[in-house]
Amino acid sequence: MKAVLLLLVLCICANSAQADIGDVFLSFAKLIFPGLGKGRGHGRGRGHWGDNDDYDQPEPPKTNMYVSVMESYGDRVYRLTSQPVQPSSWRQITRGNAINGDVSYFKGYMSSYRGFDSRIQINGASMYVSRSREPGTVRYELTECYVNGQKSSRVSTRGGCGGNGRVANNYEFYAFPGKLACEIPALNAHTSDRRSITDGLTVAISYSCTVGYRSVGGDGYIQCGDDGRWMGTPLQCEPIQCGRPKGILNGQVRGDSFTYRSTVSYECNQGYQLSASSSRVKQCNQYGEWIPSKDPECVPKSCNFPGDIQNGHVIGTDYTFGNVVSFSCDPDYKLVGAPQVRCTASGRWDDRTPTCELITCDRQAPPQNGRLVGSQFKVGTEIVFECREGYILVGPARISCDLDPVTNAGVRSSPSNPTCQKVSCPPPVDPENGNVRVLTDVTYGQEIDFECRRGFYLQGSPRATCQADGQWDSPPPTCVAMQCRDPGNVANANKTGSAPFIYGSTVSFTCETGSQLVGQSVLLCQDDGTWSSQLPTCEVIQCPVVKPPLNGAKNVDSSTHPVTMTFSCFPGYELDGQRTAQCQPNGQWSMTQAPACKVCPIGTYKEGMTGGQCQPCPARSSTSAEGSTSRQYCLCQDGSKATDTGECEEITCDPLEAPVNGSILPCGSVSDSQCQLTCDPGFILQGSRTRRCTATGWTGNPTTCTACPPNTYKSDIFSSSCLPCPQNSETTGLGTSLQSCTCKTGYQGLPGTHCQDVDECATNNGGCNQECHNSKGSYSCACSIPGYELDADGKTCVLNKTCGDIDEKPDNGFLECKRNDEYNGAVCIIKCDPGFFFVSGINNYITCGAGTDFVWSHQLVNASARIPACTREFFVDIQLPITFSYETRKSCNALPIATSEFTATIQEAINKFNVCRGLCEVQNLRTDCQDGSQPDTSEVRVSLSVLLRNPEENAVSPGCDSTCKRKNLREILGDSFALKNSIQKLVEGDSPQLQPAALSEFDLDTTSFTFSRPQMLCEKGRVFTKNRLCVPCDKGYFLPQRDLENCLPCPLGTFQDKQGQTSCTPCHPSATTSIEGAYHAVMCNVVVTDIPGKEGPTDTLLPNSAV
């Protein structure tokens, strides 16, 4: 539309080269207002050109029009007139440059143009017109005149064609008084500006690049032209370039940005490192230089000195990366290990340092039964072998060590050592009638023995020894037969046998009748040349004299062959042995030994002088002494009693049985028998330990054996009690001894000794995966990291609960998460995108861990809960607290004080300030009346706040950085002080603008103006953040009062589906929400019902479709 209007204007102007400026304006007016010609009609009217026009004066030349400068409410404005009022303030406009648009018409003064009909733009400048009168507009008349037969048009506030003109048509319209001004151009990135302001208008702007940036286009200084256009374009800046930094030897440069504040890092190639004086990072500064200026240096890594080697040398002094060090040995020494080592990229040698060992030949052990002569077997030496006495050397007696020039190793002149073999003697020969006793061999030092067969004896040495020369030390002996002497003759005997009496010959003897041979009847010549026994004798046969037995008698006194003797005993004695004996031809009695008379023991008797035996007393009777001679001496024994028949009957008890787990010492079951009962080890006796058999039975109580209680023992069968085990020990079965007490689990010590606690945690943490807790006799494993629990083995901690990955993020933001394995938890910081801030929550983070049962904190109540969104940032408004006073000649009780009148009056006054531009609002006005010091006078003090709204009412642009935000804050704070100064001028200047029309009796106190420090303020429902910006609450949250730092979630039973609210909307009375922070009416999905018999309502969760 604007382009069409401009095209039409240009066409009209082009076709009407002679038309004056009024004709141009009339063309515009007819285009905008089709009914413009239907005003007052034809007729002559009184016209007025500008403020000083007079219709009686001649019309000024048609070829010139002027813009007059006027003051309106302290601001400079411009109006179209026909002649100057103050020549210095006029700007002449010719018909030509008016058509070309060098100067624009009536740029709107007011900041808000809503509600007006049209906007006409010529070359970027605008004039706003309206069909009807609006506040702030000025009435104009467009008059078509005929002067001297020529048609012309005039615009004035009074109308008319002047003295010589005739009114053809007269039209009226309304327009805002304009002021010529240039719109402030947008500030390019990384630039700053300084504005030159004259009469409230920005007339020039100086630009400069911020630190680290340089200009690449535009102008550093622009001026506002008369046509409302800037002469020049705003400066454009780009980051200063440092250029690609130079490469470094043996290193690389990392980084692909080389502009201001960019950094590059340096890395050295493998085997190199930055020198101590080198910096790893450089940064591009504001002068296009890399700092620090000195390039880093990559120096080779260095290995440590490889170390001296004994009997050798290190060749090389450069121990840096890639260099090689060699090793050599002294003469007669050889190198063991690598002959050279290289310094690697890790700063370590690639092999170990070698050693120099003496070059020797393999030296074997000395031969068995021999020795070596020579202490060292190095090159150029020899060793000598020798054998012990009785041994002979087999092999070389000397071996030398020579150097092998090829292998540089010692080599022996003989590959093997000699051996020492034992000297041997010739095999011996058996002598006739004899033999040689030989061992397994007949070597040096061995002995042989010679033996003769039985009946022969050796003549010569019985033993020979093998000597070192391999010969026996004596000749072999001979074997000679043995002979016995003639034994002689025996009196009264015959001899059989004759000489020679050699080994094995016999001689026999026989006695004549009546004699008895005493000795051996046959003699044998033995192998030692002696007879086997002495010569026998022949004697008369006579038996030994036998005495009668004690307490007995014999019937004969002779002892010659073949008498028979009979023996008998006195009463009370019995014969012990043979009753009769005969003297035999051999001179011996037929009995082996003489009989004896033994006294009858107690309990027996024997009557008469007979050879019979003692008779036992009847059963259960006994004699009181030995040697009883009659039965009448047999009396009943203790434990028995006489019967009516005269027999003795035994007194007995039933046999006792050994208790279970016990025993009875050997005892009887007859009268007066005592039995001792015992319990086995590990058992304790209960009842009588000893019981005696009486005529009435066993004395005492029955005996039982009870096992010792656990952890006690008894080792002796005669012990009467069980002893406790030592401290910290126990029995695993029956406690039969002190050694039955073994250490409890968790203690250590020998059985039956003191047991000490075992600290299981001291060794390998007790096998525990995380924590080990030692205790007396035991230990336990525990999981210190939340979310872990002990496995079935009681030691391993297995992950039971942990935080799941979170795949959501707040709207207009993101999460910066970090996990902590030590606590098995996670925290995610809520970060917002540029231009957004987080205020809808107590915390700007969410957590997950043991404290939340491993559920993300925002999902504790409802698993489907969302993270509140980051919301837009808005610039702050400024609230300016102000007070001033009125004096009146009436008392407070008589004053008709109305705060609404004060508010309307002050609001109207400040609306005229250029700084307000429709952005100022009087708030919180309060009056306080106090009676004055004079009668019927009072003082009315007015306290109010003026809210200065930020002209940037839209959200902060994401591209607005901190510099941009600070600039806005500085500007609105500057406007607030300008506002304060303007109001202060009104008060101190006693301006009638502050005088309410209905309160004429009020006089302004010009000295009463005071103000408080401007306060940054946010709209209701928006949080004032630490960044000095305003951020609205997210959906589901509200801000009930402005001083809160965070938005609150909507309580249960309410919701909020809009941002930036101060309260929440209640759900239907029959429904509620399941969580706080509901952000839609559909979340009122819990139906409240009454259940009979239960007090109060009950919540029932229903699907959304049921609500």
Look up the CATH number of the domain holding residue 405. 2.10.70
Q: What is the pLDDT of residues 1010-1045, one digit of tens each?
A: 988 899 999 999 999 988 999 999 999 999 998 888
| Residue 999 binned pLDDT confidence (cut-offs 50, 70, 90) | low
Instruction: Give yes or no: residues 916 and 975 share one domain.
Output: yes
Q: What is the pLDDT of residues 123-139, one digit of tens each?
A: 333 344 554 555 555 66
- Asked whether residue 162 carries a pLDDT value surpassing 70, the answer given is no
Higher-confidence position of 830 and 631 = 830
Residue 502 contacts residue 529 (beta carbons within 8 Å): no
Q: What is the mean pLDDT of residues 376-401?
A: 84
pLDDT at 742 (0 to 100)? 93
Q: What is the pLDDT of residues 1084-1096, one digit of tens each?
A: 988 876 545 544 4
CATH number at residue 610: 2.10.50.10
CA 142, CA 129: separation in Å to the nearest integer?
13
| Residue 1064 binned pLDDT confidence (cut-offs 50, 70, 90) | very high
* The dihedral sign for the CA sequence 367, 371, 376, 380: negative
pLDDT at 34 (0 to 100)? 35
pLDDT at 153 (0 to 100)? 64
Q: What is the mean pLDDT of residues 9-25?
A: 34
pLDDT at 634 (0 to 100)? 86
- Asked whether residue 730 carries a pLDDT value surpassing 80, the answer given is yes
Instruction: Give yes or no: residues 391 and 276 share one domain.
Output: no
Whether 730 maps to a domain, the answer reads no
Whether 272 maps to a domain, the answer reads yes
pLDDT at 741 (0 to 100)? 94
Q: What is the mean pLDDT of residues 656-667?
A: 90
pLDDT at 122 (0 to 100)? 33
pLDDT at 438 (0 to 100)? 72
Of the residues 1017, 1034, 1056, the one at which a domain ends? 1017
| Residue 12 binned pLDDT confidence (cut-offs 50, 70, 90) | very low
pLDDT at 446 (0 to 100)? 86
Higher-confidence position of 895 and 836 = 836
pLDDT at 877 (0 to 100)? 93
| Residue 157 binned pLDDT confidence (cut-offs 50, 70, 90) | low
Q: What is the mean pLDDT of residues 328-342?
A: 88
pLDDT at 276 (0 to 100)? 81
> Quick one: what percent of the chain has pLDDT higher than 70?
81
Residue 853 contacts residue 801 (beta carbons within 8 Å): yes
Q: What is the mean pLDDT of residues 886-912?
A: 79
pLDDT at 106 (0 to 100)? 31
- Asked whether residue 119 carries a pLDDT value surpassing 60, the answer given is no
The three-class DSSP label of residue 180 is coil
Instruction: Give yes or no: residues 497 and 579 share one domain.
Output: no
Instruction: Give yes or no: residues 93 and 40 share one domain.
Output: yes
Q: What is the mean pLDDT of residues 48-77?
A: 32
Of the residues 122, 145, 175, the one at which a domain ends? 175
Whether 806 maps to a domain, the answer reads no
Higher-confidence position of 102 and 296 = 296
CA 209, CA 73: separation in Å to the nearest integer?
37
- Asked whether residue 47 carries a pLDDT value surpassing 60, the answer given is no
Instruction: Give yes or no: residues 140 and 265 share one domain.
Output: no
Q: What is the pLDDT of residues 452-485, one digit of tens each?
A: 888 888 888 888 888 888 888 888 898 888 888 8
Higher-confidence position of 67 and 268 = 268
Residue 1072 contacts residue 1084 (beta carbons within 8 Å): yes
pLDDT at 649 (0 to 100)? 80
Whether 687 maps to a domain, the answer reads no
| Residue 432 binned pLDDT confidence (cut-offs 50, 70, 90) | confident
Whether 1006 maps to a domain, the answer reads yes
Q: What is the mean pLDDT of residues 295-312?
A: 88
- Asked whether residue 954 carries a pLDDT value surpassing 50, the answer given is yes
pLDDT at 1004 (0 to 100)? 84
Classify the phi-psi angles of 106: left when phi > 0, otherwise alpha if psi is within -120 to 50, otherwise beta. left
CATH number at residue 900: 3.30.70
Residue 305 burial (10 A CB sphere; 0-12, 13-18, 19+): exposed
Q: What is the mean pLDDT of residues 380-384?
A: 83
Tokens of 885: 């006073």
The three-class DSSP label of residue 1069 is coil
pLDDT at 335 (0 to 100)? 87
Ranking 69-73, 214-218, 498-502, 697-701 by mean pLDDT, the lowest is 69-73
Pairing of strands 621-622, 635-636: antiparallel
Of the residues 612, 645, 678, the one at which a domain ends? 645
Ranking 169-173, 473-477, 940-944 by mean pLDDT, the lowest is 169-173
pLDDT at 342 (0 to 100)? 92
- Asked whether residue 57 carries a pLDDT value surpassing 50, the answer given is no
- Asked whether residue 821 carries a pLDDT value surpassing 70, the answer given is yes
Higher-confidence position of 170 and 213 = 213
Whether 683 maps to a domain, the answer reads no
Whether 689 maps to a domain, the answer reads no
Classify the phi-psi angles of 275: left when phi > 0, otherwise alpha if psi is within -120 to 50, otherwise beta. beta
Instruction: Give yes or no: residues 857 and 882 share one domain.
Output: no
Radius of gyration of the chain (CA): 73
CA 1082, CA 1057: separation in Å to the nearest integer?
10
Ranking 163-172, 184-193, 686-695, 1097-1106 by mean pLDDT, the lowest is 1097-1106
pLDDT at 134 (0 to 100)? 57
pLDDT at 521 (0 to 100)? 86
pLDDT at 1030 (0 to 100)? 94
CATH number at residue 262: 2.10.70.10
Shortest CA distance to 621 belongs to which of 642, 593, 596? 642
pLDDT at 14 (0 to 100)? 32
Shortest CA distance to 287 belongs to which of 338, 233, 212? 212
Q: What is the mean pLDDT of residues 819-842?
A: 88
CA 313, CA 356: separation in Å to the nearest integer?
9
Instruction: Give yes or no: residues 70 and 167 share one domain.
Output: yes
Instruction: Give yes or no: residues 22 and 76 share one domain.
Output: yes
Q: What is the mean pLDDT of residues 929-939?
A: 80
Classify the phi-psi angles of 1036: left when phi > 0, otherwise alpha if psi is within -120 to 50, otherwise beta. left
pLDDT at 2 (0 to 100)? 33
Instruction: Give yes or no: residues 110 and 222 share one domain.
Output: no
Shortest CA distance to 157 belongs to which of 172, 178, 168, 176? 172
Q: What is the mean pLDDT of residues 251-269?
A: 91
Q: What is the mean pLDDT of residues 433-440?
A: 79
| Residue 360 binned pLDDT confidence (cut-offs 50, 70, 90) | confident
pLDDT at 768 (0 to 100)? 92
- Asked whether residue 53 carries a pLDDT value surpassing 70, the answer given is no
Amino acid at residue number 559 = S
Higher-confidence position of 1095 and 442 = 442
| Residue 495 binned pLDDT confidence (cut-offs 50, 70, 90) | confident
> Quick one: what percent of the chain has pLDDT higher than 90?
17
* The dihedral sign for the CA sequence 843, 848, 849, 854: positive
Instruction: Give yes or no: residues 408 and 466 share one domain.
Output: no
Ranking 82-86, 163-167, 180-184, 847-851 by mean pLDDT, the lowest is 82-86
Q: Which residue's structure tokens are 């010719």?
A: 94
Instruction: Give yes or no: residues 195 and 102 share one domain.
Output: no
Tokens of 748: 């250590």
Pairing of strands 333-336, 871-872: unpaired
Q: How many domains does the chain have?
A: 11
pLDDT at 1090 (0 to 100)? 57
pLDDT at 324 (0 to 100)? 92
- Asked whether residue 536 carries a pLDDT value surpassing 80, the answer given is yes
Instruction: Give yes or no: residues 444 and 521 share one domain.
Output: no
Which domain, by its residues, includes 608?
A: 566-588+597-645
Tell me the pLDDT of the chain averaged across its residues: 78
Whether 503 maps to a domain, the answer reads yes
